[in-house]
Structure 1
Amino acid sequence: MDRHTIRRSALALFFASAMTGVAMAQSAAPAAASGTDGNNAPKAACGGDLSTFLAGVKADAIAAGADAASADKALAGAQIDPKVLAMDRSQGVFRQTFLEFSQRTVSQGRLDIGRQKLKQYADVFAKAEKDYGVPPGIITTYWAMETDFGAVQGNFNTRNALVTLSHDCRRPEFFRPRLIGFIEMVQHGDADPDTMTGAWAGEIGQTQMLPPSIISYGVDGDGDGHVNMKTSAADVILTTARFFQSLGFQRGQPWLQEVSVPDNLPWEKSGLGGTLTAADWFKLGVEPRDGNTSFGSLPAALILPQGRKGPAFLTYPNYNAFLEWNQSFIYTTSAAYFATRFAGAPTYNKGTPESGLNDVDMKALQTKLTARGYDVGKIDGILGSGTRVAIQKEQFRLGLPADGWATQALLNAL
């Protein structure tokens, strides 16, 4: 076994147990903050005196396989960062449409730089695809979207960010395992606790991965004995490929295909979670823009990010790996489309989508849907998956084209 396989074996138990109960040896941590959250998920110990809290983290790290000296080194000088808490409390909501976000994200500049990277590191990309089955364009997409190929990686001290978010009692069960993972990175020389910087939530490197993922899927691509996600392109490419494979990506299978749609589809069958195959959609008049109908036997969902008059795509099972990376429908669809561009697909057909709702009207629509018994989550003005499903059902009930797109006509009808 290589050293990454060895260290996974020790940490796998901790990362699993961290989500099912408070890890071993936390008696030193404040008991008042433990318990369960609203979803009955166990709450990790949090809050209280910082030195006492860190002693509990050290005990957890040792129980997970770290040595005491490495835990001391990783946690020495740790501080609560008020800027991290401010970022956590002020996260913006995702209000852009697919056309707005994708056109800003999938820029010509990023495509040009990405193609240069594909040529520059052709051998590494070839190894990534050979070993893990992940096409170069997918890796390049996340390299571009997450940090503009390493240009914007974040300037928060990673140790302090993870200590802050683990100590805070908002989501300690999520961040405490990430802090333990960071300690393990320090032990293996892959992170300097005083100088390692990244995003405010603890993501590290050019594709913004969290410490447990780097530990589990890190690949030393340049042969220097370390996994350096900040400066080593080879490490970034191979580690990202290995991680993306772990999300369920199947070698040689498609993920997204742009299509044109007729005017008379059973729109209520569109949306994620459908039961049709690509061949079923083809029989209904859906036509791939690239003319490739060889995926007919695969399950396929027709997605219409801005309704039946906007861009249209068939998603295949590999699309779910993109959703595992980021569960935002708009981000995921933009990333999947971006990756097809590196694979040779043309710019999508924007179509002529109907105008959507503004923030006030979207909240009014969500309120009406909630009153009718639908679970749309928080009334936040965001066209999320729950709201899309509810819209589609109401459109169908009202005899409107059930494409899941929020319009003034639907709001008026309700």
Structure 2
Amino acid sequence: MRGWLLAAVVLADLGGASARAEDCGKNGEGFNRWLNSFKQVAILDGVSAGAFDAALGGVSYDPEVKRHDGGVAMFGHNFAGFAASHVTPGMVARGKAELKRYAEPLAKIEQRFGVPGPVLVAIWGQETSFGGDNGSFPTYTALATLAYDCRRAERYRAELIDALMLVERGIVQHPSQLRGAWAGEIGQTQLMPSAYLMFATTPDGTGTPDLVHDGADALASTANFLKAHGWQQGAGWDEGEPNFAAILQWNSAEIYAKTVALFADRLAGR
């Protein structure tokens, strides 16, 4: 369900190594040669050889990721049908239970960022069924495959560098075990690596956030993202209200944003 939260990253002129890393492909042919050249790009960008090898050593091109990317379906044009299948009575009941269970951290989060719990829990529910399904694709394999593929190589090479920085900084300690969505999103609310680096936080801003295993940290990081993208405390979030634009920054598909807003309305008792 996630849109691609991809930050623009300008890579420095890396000479010959950069030129070689400009190669791309539409299948696995040439992937290993490209990956070897990309290692030099990553090192010049501040990633150690050890972090690169820990994340990408032995990684191979994944045609399943390519198939998902080539056949990705948009949300369509039928909001009523989409919302009916994603804001079910069962989902609403579960969401209300999570609001109660996470009442304390959600209160801290709203105090810090001004984003109400119903909106955060609605996104959480839509993204991963409240942390129940973060995705099963090996994250570094998926990102490397998309970074090599010609369709969106520049975007994903930037994301791959950011994902490697998560290893370099010790945020991801076991990269081979990290699993997420086929497009490289990580954690219980599905942040891209660039967004993880920029917005990961805990409810009170102390300690080391863990967006994969800690729901409260994932909710806090989502609120941080929304605040940075224009969320206005106390304003409405439905279509036509000020904060609908911030939800669109989370995911630019209007049907998705309207579904999140509707879900949040139900959770808030509207």
What TM-score do you get using the length of structure 2 for normalisation?
0.88
SS at match of 2:231: coil
Distance in 2 (CA, whole Å) between partners of 1:64 and 1:217 is 21
**Taking structure 1 as reference, are residues 254 and 222 closer, same or farther at Cα in structure 2, changes over 3 Å only?**
closer
**Taking structure 1 as reference, are residues 249 and 147 closer, same or farther at Cα in structure 2, changes over 3 Å only?**
same
What does 1:22-101 align with in structure 2 at a 5 Å threshold? 22-25=11-14, 27-28=16-17, 34=22, 45-47=23-25, 49-95=30-76, 97-101=78-82
Unmatched 5+ residue regions in structure 1?
1-14, 35-44, 257-313, 346-414
Aligned residues: 260
What does 1:15-414 align with in structure 2 at a 5 Å threshold? 16-18=8-10, 22-25=11-14, 27-28=16-17, 34=22, 45-47=23-25, 49-95=30-76, 97-191=78-172, 192-221=174-203, 226-256=208-238, 315-345=240-270
Higher helix proportion: 2
**Taking structure 1 as reference, are residues 199 and 222 closer, same or farther at Cα in structure 2, changes over 3 Å only?**
farther
What TM-score do you get using the length of structure 1 for normalisation?
0.58
Q: Which residue of 2 aligns with 1:373?
A: none
- Structure 1 runs (4+) greater than 6 angstroms displaced: none
| 1:231 Cα deviation from its structure 2 partner | 1.2
Distance in 1 (CA, whole Å) between partners of 2:206 and 2:70 is 39
Distance in 1 (CA, whole Å) between partners of 2:253 and 2:162 is 25
SS at match of 2:177: coil
Unmatched 5+ residue regions in structure 2?
1-6
Q: 223-232 or 110-119, which moves further after superposition? A: 223-232
**Taking structure 1 as reference, are residues 28 and 63 closer, same or farther at Cα in structure 2, changes over 3 Å only?**
closer
Write the letter of the residue equivalent to 1:218. Answer: A
Write the letter of the residue equivalent to 1:342. Answer: L
Q: Which residue of 2 aligns with 1:365?
A: none
Write the letter of the residue equivalent to 2:243. Answer: N
Write the letter of the residue equivalent to 2:49. Answer: A
Q: 46-55 or 318-327, which moves further after superposition? A: 46-55
**Taking structure 1 as reference, are residues 225 and 65 closer, same or farther at Cα in structure 2, changes over 3 Å only?**
farther
Aligned alpha-carbon RMSD (Å)? 2.3
| 1:344 Cα deviation from its structure 2 partner | 2.0
Which protein is bigger by CA-based radius of gyration?
A: 1
Q: Deviations over 1:338-360 (max 9, x none)?
A: 11222221xxxxxxxxxxxxxxx
Greater RCO, CA 8 A, separation 6+ = 2
Distance in 2 (CA, whole Å) between partners of 1:26 and 1:46 is 17
**Taking structure 1 as reference, are residues 77 and 46 closer, same or farther at Cα in structure 2, changes over 3 Å only?**
same
